[in-house]
């Protein structure tokens, strides 16, 4: 198929195989991961967006011929995505720790809030108890502990910056002194500054540095890794204004544009992690579509963080199961994500998630040597 030069084109790795043996020239690899695939799913739509116009599978060995048949704009855009998929992902440098991304890693969720949807109020304002929970996550295998002092669930109240700092800083200090890699889950520049000064080494911002006018400056100055998450709104309610033509392609385009803006402002591209924002202004069906299409996000050229732990979509699927009864659904979604090549899994249940990923890794190893 010959695409219109003005079409938006998207190249998604597809048809994954367990082992590349005897498939020279017929498989491509996602970065330096343990995932190989035999075809590209080429998706296209009009220049103005809207619904996808069409899609087709192109075998890996035929992709160069397909590119040669296209117009310069389509060929150049497609070639950039192909290069992004195959490029190695730079290890995360978090203080004195280096976290390689050649296999999936777990980020433990530590909410020090009274009203988070799953574990709000768990620590009853006891920073020592929260820190001990963080140490337990690290001991259970979490590569990073992500601490937040403000709930962003639907309907949650906005927290004053000073209160948020007062919640997270004592916990971060304890964890950092103990050698744990810590990220700060916040959208406020003042909280970022205080957390980084206390020992956090990564910023996880659900607004992709758009909520606070100073946030981009803080991250640029700190030269720290940053998670840019998609949400339909960067206002006090990140769930508002959720309108999509095609949720997977719309999220891809939004993240692509945001990466370019952040890089232009001075953040090194190797420091950027992307998150599709599961559960943020998205229906159950849209969350499932994003999860099924996660492999497309490799074409952005950045590590991918996926977080569906205990989220509402699992309850909607399973007879309104409460948040503390969603472990099975969380594991299923997270394994689907790593099978698509996601490098970072954000989870409440660290030990169980690490065990699931170890089992997945053992299966991959067995396939490669079998």
C-alpha–C-alpha distance, residues 242 and 126, integer Å: 36
DSSP string, 132-161: HHHHHHHHHT-SEEEEESS--STTPPPPPH
Three-class secondary structure of residue 289 per DSSP: helix
Active-site residue, 346 included: yes
- Among 45, 167, 271, 346, which one carries the catalytic annotation? 346
Active-site residue, 311 included: yes
Three-class secondary structure of residue 189 per DSSP: helix
The size of the chain, in residues, is 370
Q: Around Cβ 70, how many Cβ atoms within 10 Å?
A: 21
Contact 203, 226 (CB under 8 A): yes
Q: Please list, in sequence order, all residues whose beta carbon lies within 8 angstroms of the beta carbon of residue 42, skipping any fewer than 6 positions away.
A: 1, 9, 10, 11, 55, 56, 57, 58, 66, 78
Q: Around Cβ 259, how many Cβ atoms within 10 Å?
A: 19
Q: Please list, in sequence order, all residues whose beta carbon lies within 8 angstroms of the beta carbon of residue 173, skipping any fewer than 6 positions away.
A: 198, 199
* N-term to C-term CA, the chain: 38
User: What angle separates helix 284-292 from helix 327-339, to the nearest 10 degrees?
Assistant: 40
Contact 74, 7 (CB under 8 A): yes
Closest by alpha carbon to 339, among 287, 299, 298? 298
C-alpha–C-alpha distance, residues 86 and 108, integer Å: 28
- Among 311, 312, 326, 364, which one carries the catalytic annotation? 311
Residue position matching structure tokens 């959208």: 187
Instruction: Please give the C-alpha separations between residue 201 and each of 41, 63, 265, in angstroms, as whole numbers.
Output: 36, 40, 20
Residues acting as catalytic residues: 311, 346
């Amino acid at each position: 198929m010959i695409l219109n030069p003005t079409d938006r084109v998207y190249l998604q790795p597809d048809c994954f195989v367990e082992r590349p043996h005897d498939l020279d020239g017929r498989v491509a690899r996602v970065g330096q991961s343990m995932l190989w695939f035999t075809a590209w799913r080429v998706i296209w739509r009009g220049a103005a967006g809207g619904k996808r116009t069409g899609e087709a599978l192109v075998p890996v060995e035929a992709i160069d011929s397909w590119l040669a048949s296209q117009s310069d704009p389509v060929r150049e855009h497609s070639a950039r995505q192909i290069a992004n998929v195959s490029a190695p992902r730079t290890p995360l440098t978090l203080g004195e720790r280096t976290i390689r991304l050649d296999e999936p890693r777990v980020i433990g969720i530590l909410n020090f809030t009274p009203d988070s949807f799953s574990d709000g109020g768990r620590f009853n304002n006891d920073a020592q108890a929260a820190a001990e929970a963080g140490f337990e996550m690290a001991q259970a295998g979490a590569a990073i502990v992500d601490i937040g002092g403000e709930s962003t669930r639907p309907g949650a109240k906005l927290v004053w910056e000073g209160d948020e700092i007062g919640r997270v800083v004592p916990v971060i200090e304890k964890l950092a002194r103990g050698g744990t890699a810590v990220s700060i889950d916040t959208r406020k520049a003042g909280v970022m500054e205080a957390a980084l000064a206390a020992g956090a080494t990564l910023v996880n911002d659900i607004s992709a540095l758009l909520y606070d006018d100073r946030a981009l400056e803080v991250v640029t100055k700190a030269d720290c890794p940053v998670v840019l998450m998609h949400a339909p709104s960067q206002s006090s309610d990140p769930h508002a204004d959720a309108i999509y033509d095609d949720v997977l392609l719309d999220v891809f385009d939004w993240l692509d544009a945001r990466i370019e803006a952040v890089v232009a402002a001075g953040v090194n591209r190797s420091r950027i992690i992307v998150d599709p924002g599961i559960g943020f202004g998205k229906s159950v069906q849209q969350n499932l579509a994003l999860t099924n299409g996660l492999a497309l996000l490799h074409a952005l050229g950045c590590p991918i963080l996926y977080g569906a732990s205990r989220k509402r979509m699992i309850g909607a699927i399973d007879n309104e199961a409460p948040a503390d009864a969603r472990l099975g659904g969380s594991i299923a979604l997270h394994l689907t994500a790593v099978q698509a090549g996601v490098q970072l899994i954000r989870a409440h249940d660290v030990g169980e998630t690490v065990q699931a990923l170890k089992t997945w890794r053992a299966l991959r190893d067995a396939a490669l040597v079998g």
